[in-house]
Structure 1
Amino acid sequence: MHAIVVREPGDPDVLEWTEVPDPAPKPGEVLIDVVASAVNRADVMQRMGFYPPPPGASPYPGLEVSGRVAELGPDVTGLNVGDEVCALLAGGGYAERVAVPAAQVLPVPRGVDVVDAAGLPEVACTVWSNVFMLAGLREGETLLVHGGGSGIGTHAIQLAKARGARVVTTVGSAEKAARCRELGADVTVNYREDDFAEHGPYDVILDVIGAKYLARNVDALAVGGRLMVIGLQGGAKAELDIGKLLRKRALVHPTSLRSRPPAEKAEIVAGVRENVWPLLESGAVRPVVDRRFPMPDAASAHRLLEESGHVGKILLTV
């Protein structure tokens, strides 16, 4: 098969479409003929040499795919060869085939294009596990989503609104603000012109920035608020005012998805199938895709992501 390999850490031009050995499914795994993958910030970090795959994971980038089941490994039930599926990966999505634990495989939701489904597993699992499983966002509460135009942002806006929350999001342009309002955001805050903390308090904050926003995020939390940190685009080290957290009885919870044990990923995927997939099939939540690139042109897709000019997911098609 062919896959995108990282020749050496560097800019997007180090991504190379080349022939590599075919994977084989181990017990409990399925082999997927890939139709599409999606580009995530973690892929960019891996390309630059800052985010190596977990032990035992594929060395190729790509944390999610869609496609068709090509082969079942031993001890796999509930799936059949030819099923259209999408899957959450620890790596290996930028390829023509990938082996993945069966418990991390989801059916393509009814009414969703099989290519567009490639952009669902990572965002759905990230948003569901952080905003709902861990932070426990409830109907009537207010969620602040940083980066509303991102793949995670566009999904979080829709899912939170569908479950009865009020949603505020930060954006970097008027165009992105308009798109986020179309998706259901109640308030958009242009971070270049305004301070999101002044529009609080927020019961839950989903943050991809990290250190740069930590103090203002804590300021903006409501009493009993929950700050979920899932990215470090603004740095990893900052001072935390524990006294303020005590007074607010608030929580700061950093998390990652890629390195979680398979059993935890399986629990998250099961929750997504039960709670998120029906909303996708009803149309209450939909995939938001900015554009598609042929997988051999992954470098162009990475450049677009790094420019932050997109809204929603960027897909790579085989």
Structure 2
Amino acid sequence: MRFIDLPEHGGPEVMQVAQGEKPEPAAGEVLIRVQAAGVNRPDVIQRQGFYPPPPGASPVLGLEVAGEVSAVGADVTRWKVGDRVCALTNGGGYAEYAVAPAEQCLPIPEGLTAVEAAALPETFFTVWSNLVHRAHLNAGEVLLVHGGSSGIGTAAIQIGRALGARVFVTAGSEDKCRACEQLGAERAINYRSEDFVAVVNEATDGHGADVVLDMVGGAYVDRNIQLAARDGRIVNIAFLAGAQVEVNMLPVMLKRLVLTGSTLRPQPPATKAAIASDLTKVVWPLLNQGKIRPVIAATFVLEDVADAHRLMESSSHIGKIVLTL
């Protein structure tokens, strides 16, 4: 099979198309003939050498795929050869064949292409895990999502709305802001020209944000604390603007705030299976009905993976970047 090899860490140019043996599914795993693979920020960080795969995981980049089941390992009863699935992998997605735990596979929603389905697993698992399992977002609460036009952001807008929250986002251009509002954000804030603390406080009559989903970090950490409502929950899933910051912790105590964060890939299989179960019950029916849809920014053939990573690093896209095979 063809796959993307990473002989050394560095810029996008270090990735190479190579030939290798296709993997074999172990017990509890399925082998997927990959038709499309999502590109995610963790792939970029792994390529740069700052996010090594956990023990036992494939060193090949790629955390989400869509395609057809090609083989099943022992003890797999839910899936059979020929089933159309999308899957959260533990690595190995940038390849013509990839293995995934059976419990991390989901059916491709009705009416979605493989490209659209490949944009779901890593993003929707991440958003659900952080908004629901960690932040306990409730109907009627105020949700602020930084990076609203990213793959994570576009999913968080739609899931937040489906859960009954008032959704506010930040984005870096008027086009991105309008795209976020078309997806269901009550207000998209252009962080280059507006103060998100002031805008959200005004829109909520001083209540602030009950939940903040932040991938920016840096100076946003202290401003999130300023904006958070009493008993608010602030979840960091990345620190694109830096992780080392100085903040005033007194408001954390006075407002009884929860500051938390997570990464998805190192979490145990049981946790990922629980997320998959929740998504199957709550989000997949909405996808099947067309009430939620992934936003695709661009597609690239496998050989153009470097261009896909360059687009990811530019942050100029709206939605998900997908490789096609």
Taking structure 1 as the reference length, what is the TM-score of the superposition?
0.98
In the alignment, which of 200, 218, 236 is matched to residue 225 of structure 2? 218
Q: What percent identity do the matched residue pairs reach?
A: 50
Residue 15 of structure 2 is matched in structure 1 by: 15
Residue 274 of structure 1 is matched in structure 2 by: 281
Q: Which amino acid aligns with 1:223?
A: R
The correspondence of residues 136-147 of structure 1 with structure 2, limited to 5 A, is 136-147=136-147
Give, in whole Å, the separation in 2 of the partners of 1:230 and 1:120.
17
In the alignment, which of 236, 239, 255 is matched to residue 246 of structure 2? 239
The correspondence of residues 1-318 of structure 1 with structure 2, limited to 5 A, is 1-198=1-198, 199-200=200-201, 201-318=208-325
> CA-to-partner distance for each residue in 1:45-81, whole Å, 9 max, x for gaps?
1111111111111111111000000001001111110
The runs of 4+ residues in structure 1 deviating greater than 3 Å are none
**SS in structure 2 of the partner of residue 144 of structure 1:** strand
Task: Tell me the CA shift for residue 133 of structure 1.
Answer: 1.9
Give, in whole Å, the separation in 1 of the partners of 2:305 and 2:171.
25
Q: Which amino acid aligns with 1:235?
A: G
Q: Which amino acid aligns with 1:47?
A: R
**SS in structure 2 of the partner of residue 100 of structure 1:** strand
Task: Tell me the CA shift for residue 139 of structure 1.
Answer: 1.1
Task: Tell me the CA shift for residue 252 of structure 1.
Answer: 0.5
Q: Which amino acid aligns with 1:226?
A: R
**SS in structure 1 of the partner of residue 213 of structure 2:** strand
Give, in whole Å, the separation in 2 of the partners of 1:254 and 1:211.
14
Give, in whole Å, the separation in 1 of the partners of 2:247 and 2:82.
51
Give, in whole Å, the separation in 2 of the partners of 1:104 and 1:241.
40
Give, in whole Å, the separation in 2 of the partners of 1:307 and 1:234.
14
> CA-to-partner distance for each residue in 1:190-211, whole Å, 9 max, x for gaps?
1111121112310100000123
Task: Tell me the CA shift for residue 240 of structure 1.
Answer: 4.0
Ranges in structure 1 where 5+ consecutive residues have no aligned partner: none
Give, in whole Å, the separation in 2 of the partners of 1:37 and 1:208.
22
Give, in whole Å, the separation in 1 of the partners of 2:193 and 2:297.
25
Q: Which amino acid aligns with 1:36?
A: A
Task: Tell me the CA shift for residue 256 of structure 1.
Answer: 0.7
Give, in whole Å, the separation in 2 of the partners of 1:152 and 1:233.
14
Task: Tell me the CA shift for residue 242 of structure 1.
Answer: 3.0
Ranges in structure 2 where 5+ consecutive residues have no aligned partner: 202-207
Task: Tell me the CA shift for residue 3 of structure 1.
Answer: 0.6
**SS in structure 1 of the partner of residue 219 of structure 2:** helix
Q: Which amino acid aligns with 2:315?
A: S
Give, in whole Å, the separation in 1 of the partners of 2:8 and 2:78.
40
> CA-to-partner distance for each residue in 1:148-187, whole Å, 9 max, x for gaps?
1100100111111122111110000011011111101111
Give, in whole Å, the separation in 2 of the partners of 1:298 and 1:212.
32
- Give the CA RMSD over aligned residues: 1.0
Give, in whole Å, the separation in 1 of the partners of 2:263 and 2:51.
12
Taking structure 2 as the reference length, what is the TM-score of the superposition?
0.96
Q: Which amino acid aligns with 1:265?
A: K
Task: Tell me the CA shift for residue 7 of structure 1.
Answer: 2.0
Task: Tell me the CA shift for residue 244 of structure 1.
Answer: 1.1
**For this pair of structures, how many residues does the alignment match?**
318
> CA-to-partner distance for each residue in 1:263-283, whole Å, 9 max, x for gaps?
111111111111111111111
Q: Which amino acid aligns with 1:254?
A: G
Q: Which amino acid aligns with 2:155?
A: H
**SS in structure 2 of the partner of residue 115 of structure 1:** helix
> CA-to-partner distance for each residue in 1:257-310, whole Å, 9 max, x for gaps?
011011111111111111111111111111100111001210010011111111
Task: Tell me the CA shift for residue 21 of structure 1.
Answer: 2.1
Give, in whole Å, the separation in 2 of the partners of 1:241 and 1:254.
19
Q: Which amino acid aligns with 1:299?
A: A
**SS in structure 2 of the partner of residue 124 of structure 1:** helix
